[in-house]
A and B are shown apart, each in its own frame.
Chain A
Amino acid sequence: MESFAQSVVSGVLTGSLYAMIAIGLTIVFGVMRIINLAHGDMVMLGMFGAYWSYTLWGIDPFLSVCIWAPLMFAGGMLVQRFLLKQVMPKGELNTLLYTAGLSLLIANVALFFWTGDYRTLNLDYAVMPARPFGISVPIPLAIAFVMAIAITTALYLLLSRTDVGRAMRATAQNAQSAALMGVDVGRIDMVTFGLGTALAAAAGVLLVPSLYLYPTVGEILIVKCFVIVVLGGLGSVPGAIAGGVLLGLVESLGAVYVSVAYKDTIGFVLFLLVLLFRPSGLFGVGKS
C-alpha cells in the first residue's frame, strides 16, 4: 500500500512537469495549428541554460528560471517571426517537416558543442529526500512541482483575464474571424510561440536537477509530449495537464505493477487507442 502511495506521488510530481511541457506544445497547436517537433529541444536548451548558469556562475536553477524563461520567450518569438511565419502558408505537413529539420539542427549543434556526455546537476540541499508520511519525495522535484503549479496558474490567468489571452483563445477558435475582429494574428502567433518555448525552457530548468541531461534528450521528451497532448486533446490546456499527470501515473504505476520493461509500451498503446477511437482526446475537448 505504501508503494502504491509512493508511486502515485512520484507519478503526479513528474507528471506535472510533463504537463508543463505539454501545455507549451498544445497552445502552439491550438493557436497556430502547428505541431512543433522542435519543442523537446527547447526543453533541452532550458536544461542546458540552467546547467551552465549553475556550473559556471553558481546560480541556483530555481532562480535562473527567471532569466532563462524570458530569454527563451524572446527566442521563440524570433523563431516564429523569421523562420516559421514564412513556412506556415505551405501547409501543415510542410511545417511539420520544417520543425523536424529545426529539431535536428538544434539538437545536433548542441551535440557538437557540448558532446553527448550525460550530465547531472547536483544541488547540495537536494541530497536527502524529504519524507512526509513515510513517502520519499526528492526536494528538487517538490520545488519544481510547486513552481510548475505557480507558472500554470499564471498562464491560466493570462489566458482568461488578459486581452492577449482572449486574443489567443479567439485565434485558436477561428483565426480568420479573430483577424476580422481586429486581432493582430501575426503578433499573437509570435506571442504564443514565445510562450510555448518559454514554458518548455522553464520546465527544462525546473527538471534539470532531477534528470540526466544530454543534447538529444529532446527526442524522448517530444514523443512523451505527443502522447500527453493526444490523450488530453490537442489544443486543450486542461487536457494537457490531465494528460501529463496521467502519463506520469501510468509510467510510475506501470513500472511497479506491470514491468519496468514494458512501461513505456503502455503509454504508446494507450496513445494509439486514443488516436483511433477518441481523436479529440480522452476528455473529448481536443480539436480533430
Chain B
Amino acid sequence: MTRLLAAAGILVLVSAPLLTGNPFFQHLMIMVLFWTLLGASWNLLGGFAGQVSFGHAVFLGIGAYVTMLSYLSLGLSPFLGMLAGGAIGAMFAVPIGLICFRLRGPYFSLATLAVAEIVRLVALNWEQLTAGPMGLLITQLPPLSFAGATVDWESKIPFYYLAAALALSAMGLTHAVSRSRLGAYLTAVREDIDSAEAVGIDTVRARVTALALSAFIVGLAGGFYSLYFRYVDPDAVFAISLSVEMIFIAVVGGLATTAGPIVGAVVLVTIAEFFRDRFQAGHLIFYGLFMMLVIRYLPEGIWGGLRRLLAARA
C-alpha cells in the first residue's frame, strides 16, 4: 500500500511542473519541497532521536554562505558549492554536537539556540567575510547544459527538479536510517539514554552521526536557498524563526515518520504561501495554531494519525 502511494507520489512529483505554467504554483511546489527537505532532516535528529534542536538554521546559513562565497569569491560551480555547503555544515555538526549533547532535554534545546544565535551574530558582524547585514547577492548564475539543452535559470522549472531531487534524497536517507542499526540506536536514545548506554550504545556517537547527516542535508538546502533566492543575509538564513518552522513542519506532519514531513510541508507551506500572497502576513498564525492543535489532540502528527486510522481499518 505504501509502495503504491510512494510510486504515485513520485509520478506526481516528476510530472507536476509540466501541468502548470503558473509561476505562483511553481513557487509553491518548490517551497513545499524545500520545507519537506528541511523538515525531513530535522526529523532525523528531532523525531527519531528525540533531540529537539532549536538552532538547526545554523546549518542552513552555513550551507547558504559557503555556496554563495565559493561561487562569488572562488568562481566555483554553484552545485559543487552546494555540496561543499553540505559537507562543511556536517563538519560543524561535530563540535556543535559534542558541546550540546552534554545536555539533555530542554537544556539541549536552549544550547542549540545559543549556538545558532552566536553564529548569526558572528555572520552579522564579520563583515570582511560575509558582508554583514548587507548580505551577498548573485546576479548571474553560470550557464549550464543538461541533456543537450541549456538550462534556463530564469524559469522555475530547473529549481523545481533540483528541489525534488534533494527532497527525495532526504526522504530516502531518512528511510534508510530508520531501517538501519543507527536508526534503532537513535530510538533507544530517545527512549532512555542511560539504558542505551547500558546496552553498549555509544549514545554521543549515535547522536553526533545523526546530527551530521541532518546538517549535511540542511546545508545542501542552504545552498539551494542561495541559488533560488540569489540573496542571503544573516537574518534571513540564521533566523530563529527558520529553526522553529522546521520543527513545526516535522511535528505537525508526524515525528519519526518518513512521510510526515511531506504532509507537514504540504499543509503548512500551502497555507503560508496563500496567506502571504493575499495578506502579506498572518500565515504564521496558522503555524502556531496547528502546532497547538497537533500537540493537544494529535501528538503523532497528521501523517501519524492517518497511519493509525488506516491501520485500525485494516
Contact = CB atoms under 8 A, between A and B. Distances in A.
A69 to B, nearest CB: 25
Q: Is the interface of A mostly helix, strand, loop or mixed?
A: helix
B172 interface: no
B103 A223 contact: no
B182 to A, nearest CB: 22
A279 B107 contact: yes
A35 B106 contact: yes
Given A108-B285, A275-B107, A87 B118 contact: no
Contacts of B289: 101, 105
The winner among A90, A107, A268 for most chain B CB atoms within 10 A is A268
A276 B103 contact: yes
B106 A275 contact: no
A98 B296 contact: yes
A89 to B, nearest CB: 11
Contacts of B296: 86-87, 98
Contacts of B114: 227, 268, 271-272, 275
B110 A101 contact: no
Contacts of A261: 121, 124-125
A100 B247 contact: yes
Contact of B106 (A93, A104, A271, A276): A93
A133 interface: no
Nearest to A104: B288
Contacts of A226: 110, 113
Interface string B87-126: 0000000000001001101110111011101100110110
Interface in B278-293: 279, 281-282, 284-285, 287-292
B240 interface: yes
B84 interface: no
A101 B292 contact: yes
What class of interface size applies to chain B in its complex with A?
Answer: 35 or more
The winner among B115, B244, B248 for most chain A CB atoms within 10 A is B244
B251 interface: yes
B299 A94 contact: yes
Contacts of B285: 104-105, 108-109, 112
Contacts of B110: 35, 226, 230, 271, 275
A262 B125 CA distance: 7
B295 A98 contact: yes
A261 B143 CA distance: 39
Contacts of B299: 90, 94
Interface string A53-80: 0000000000000000000000000000
Contacts of A83: 292
A226 B114 CA distance: 10
Interface string A80-118: 000100110010111011101111111111011000100
A57 to B, nearest CB: 27
B52 interface: yes
Contacts of B107: 275, 279
A268 B102 contact: no
Q: Is the interface of B mostly helix, strand, loop or mixed?
A: helix
Interface string A263-280: 011001101100110010
A279 B103 contact: yes
A268 B121 contact: yes
A265 B125 CA distance: 10
Contact of B295 (A87, A104, A271): A87
Given A271-B114, A275-B111, A105 B288 contact: yes
A260 B212 CA distance: 33
Contacts of B240: 219, 223
B125 A104 contact: no
A47 B169 CA distance: 47
Contacts of B281: 108, 111-112, 116
Contact of A276 (B102, B109, B122, B244): B102
Given A96-B52, A276-B102, A276-B103, A101 B111 contact: no
A101 B291 contact: yes
Contacts of B118: 265, 268-269, 272
Contact of B244 (A98, A104, A272): A104
B224 to A, nearest CB: 25
A211 B253 CA distance: 38
Nearest to A226: B110
Interface string A246-270: 0000000000000001101100110
B271 to A, nearest CB: 12
Interface in B13-69: 50, 52
Contacts of A94: 295, 299
A230 B103 CA distance: 13
Contacts of A116: 281
B307 to A, nearest CB: 19
A227 B113 CA distance: 11
Q: Which 4 A-B pairs have the closest CB atoms?
A: A101-B291, A105-B288, A104-B288, A261-B125
8 contacts: A93-B109, A96-B106, A98-B296, A104-B248, A226-B110, A268-B121, A276-B111, A279-B103
Given A108-B288, A272-B118, 7 more contacts: A104-B284, A111-B282, A111-B284, A261-B124, A261-B125, A262-B125, A264-B117
